[in-house]
């Protein structure tokens, strides 16, 4: 493993100092995370909200696509089963 440069070691130390353990989970408080990225907390939260909205939209599209696939599969299976049952 390559040796860490002093800048990377300093950054790793700063991150390590801001990590808290709450209920056995390691967490970063939003103001600490914003400071690490050099942005205001408000800007960080807006970015998280925007990303969450995009990911939710993509997830909904994926789920609806899967539902359509399953419905077409159910129809074909259902038609075969209806011929087999008395």
Q: pLDDT value at position 15?
A: 83
Rounded average pLDDT over 17-26: 91
Q: If we measure between CA atoms, which residue out of 55, 49, 48 comes closest to residue 33?
A: 48
In this predicted structure, the answer to whether residue 17 has a pLDDT above a threshold of 90 is no
Contact criterion met (CB below 8 Å) for 16 and 4: no
Question: Between these two residues, 10 and 3, which has the higher pLDDT value?
Answer: 10
The single residue listed with the structure tokens 């970063």 is 28
Q: If we measure between CA atoms, which residue out of 56, 59, 58, 38 comes closest to residue 48?
A: 56
Question: Between these two residues, 1 and 23, which has the higher pLDDT value?
Answer: 23
Segment 25-84, tens digit of pLDDT: 999 888 888 888 888 999 989 998 999 988 888 888 877 777 666 666 655 555 555 555
List the domain boundaries for the chain.
1-38, 44-80
d(CA 79, CA 86): 13
pTM value surpassing 0.85: no
């Amino acid at each position: 493993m390559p040796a860490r440069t002093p800048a990377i070691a300093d950054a790793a130390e700063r991150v390590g100092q801001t990590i808290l353990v709450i209920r056995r989970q390691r967490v970063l408080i939003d103001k600490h995370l914003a400071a690490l990225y050099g942005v205001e907390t408000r800007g960080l939260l807006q970015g998280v909200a925007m990303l969450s909205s995009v990911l939710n939209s993509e997830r909904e599209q994926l789920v609806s696509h899967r539902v359509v696939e399953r419905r077409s599969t159910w129809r074909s299976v259902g038609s075969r089963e209806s011929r087999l049952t008395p």
